[in-house]
Structure 1
Amino acid sequence: MRLIRKIFQFFIDKPIKEGTILNGRYKVLSAIGAGSYGIVYLCKDMKTQETRVVKQLRPSKRRNKKEVELFKSETLLLHTLNHQNMPILYEAFSDNDCLFYVMNFIEGDNLEDLVFLSEETFNEKESLLILSQLLELVDYLHKKDIYHQDLRIPDILLKNNEPFLIDFGLSKQRVSVSSVQSPINSLPKKQEGILELKQQDYYDLGEILLYLLYTTYSSKNKKALPWTEELSLEKETVHLLKRLLGISEPYSNISEISADIHSALKAIQKSHKP
């Protein structure tokens, strides 16, 4: 059954051809990404002559009520964002029975490509500084009752060493029970478990930090060891990582994490690490 579904998707979910005009306005320049339920295109806005990013719900998903609701939910969530390091939503539309929404184009280098293709390295201080900036973005989301739930290096762009979040497909937003809009991945105001949602975002931040720290690691052992043994880190950074990853007492709020990041940076400064 899974094989049949993949074959179906292969034929149905072919990217839109270059030069196609969407919604009578957006000229497809190229397909620049694809996820489990969306395809992303770089487009030219024929009205403003500016570059835009257009995301399409995969055609194979357009009959799936849950996937459609998730796509609409992401669109509604993006509409609530107002942060220079996050996408700006311009409009949503339907074209040829497919769903789309339009965002601004953010120039930057994908963090996953930097790590695995360009083999760029980030020392302990640089990694912590990026984490600190990402924490500010997560703090912004949490204050708006939005929980990302899928913070990964492919969803982060770096521009002048500044991180930008670009994908909110699995994010959850806490809304009023009486709200008119009730997307599938929204959370009632009184629903318990908000701490767990926060801690999932904290855990994801811990994994991102580990990815960055491992860029300077060269294996000397044939046998893989725990990161606590493979990486040479300040004890404050180890403490931070253990709490982010839930190895020791998990964090309960952003301010605790921020304080420990600053402690780790101070420790690096005292030890004269780069």
Structure 2
Amino acid sequence: MRSIRKLYQFFVDIPIEAGSTLNDRFEVLRVLGTGSYGIVYLCKDLKTLENKVIKQLRPSKRKKRREIELFENEIKVMRSLNHPRVPAVYETFTGNGNYFYVMSFIEGDNLEDLIFEKKKTFKEKESLLILAELLEIVKELHFNSIYHRDLRIPNIIMKKNHPYLIDFGLSKRVLNNELNQQKIQELKQQDYYDLGEILLYLLYTTYSSEKKKALPWKEELSLEKETVFLLKRLLGTKETYSNSREILVDLRAALKAGQQDIN
């Protein structure tokens, strides 16, 4: 069944060609990426001459109301935010049965590409500072009862050494008393765990092993004990964090151990 679905998507989810015009205004320049639910294009706004990003719901998903609702939820979540490190949504439109929304273009490098293609390395202090900036974004999301649920290196754009968060396709906004405190805490924990995974990715960029046998990260990486403690709590091998303030306390301690602090 899965192979049939994949085959169907292969023939149906054909990206729009470069040079095409969407909504009589946006010229498609190239495909930026594809995900489980969407195809993302870099476009030129023929009215303002600015570059914009347009996300299209995959054509294979557009006939299912549930998939359309998820796409609409992503738009609502992003519109509810006003954060400089999150893309701004400008408008939505439909065409030939397809669903689109337009957002700001963040000119930078995808963190996954930086690590695996450009082989960029991040030292411990630099990794912690990136985590601090990501934590600030996540703190704002949680304050607005929004939980990203997909914090991964492909969903982070680095612009002038600062992280920007993209792709809210799996995000959830909790309204009123929709969930009890235990469920809300679980959503928080998922984002905190993902932050720990991102930090590990960054820290491993400087790691070079000549050993054939893989060891636990605590043995492979040479880190300040404060950083180890922070990671253990983020990843849940020690008492988990209940809020971002607790994370910030340990993050500051880790940075202080490396003779650097944050505001």
Q: TM-score range by the shorter chain?
A: over 0.9
In structure 2, the residue matched to 1:261 is 251
TM-score norm. by structure 1 comes to: 0.93
In structure 2, the residue matched to 1:181 is none
1:180-207 superposed Cα distances (whole Å, 9 cap, x missing partner): xxxxxxxx16564101100100000000
Q: 1:211 aligns with which of 180, 187, 201?
A: 201
Q: Distance in 1 between matches of 2:187 and 2:179?
A: 14
What does 1:61-76 align with in structure 2 at a 5 Å threshold?
A: 61-76=61-76
Deviation, structure 1 residue 176: 3.0
Counterpart amino acid of residue 51 in structure 2: T
In structure 1, the residue matched to 2:233 is 243
Q: Distance in 2 between matches of 1:191 and 1:231?
A: 36
Q: Distance in 1 between matches of 2:94 and 2:141?
A: 28
TM-score norm. by structure 2 comes to: 0.96
In structure 1, the residue matched to 2:5 is 5
Q: 1:224 aligns with which of 198, 214, 220?
A: 214
Q: Which moved more, 1:25-34 or 1:203-212?
A: 25-34
Q: Distance in 1 between matches of 2:24 and 2:139?
A: 38
Percentage of matched positions with identical amino acids: 64
How many pairs does the alignment contain?
A: 260
1:215-260 superposed Cα distances (whole Å, 9 cap, x missing partner): 0000121100000000001110000000000001000010110010
Deviation, structure 1 residue 23: 1.1
Q: Which moved more, 1:110-119 or 1:2-11?
A: 2-11
Does 1:153 find its partner at 2:153? yes
Counterpart amino acid of residue 226 in structure 1: P
In structure 1, the residue matched to 2:47 is 47
Q: Distance in 1 between matches of 2:32 and 2:159?
A: 18
Does 1:98 find its partner at 2:88? no
In structure 2, the residue matched to 1:79 is 79
Q: Distance in 2 between matches of 1:207 and 1:52?
A: 30
Q: Distance in 2 between matches of 1:254 and 1:7?
A: 43
What is the root-mean-square deviation of aligned Cα atoms in Å? 1.2
Does 1:89 find its partner at 2:79? no
- Extract structure 1 runs of 4+ deviating beyond 2 A: 189-192
Counterpart amino acid of residue 187 in structure 2: L
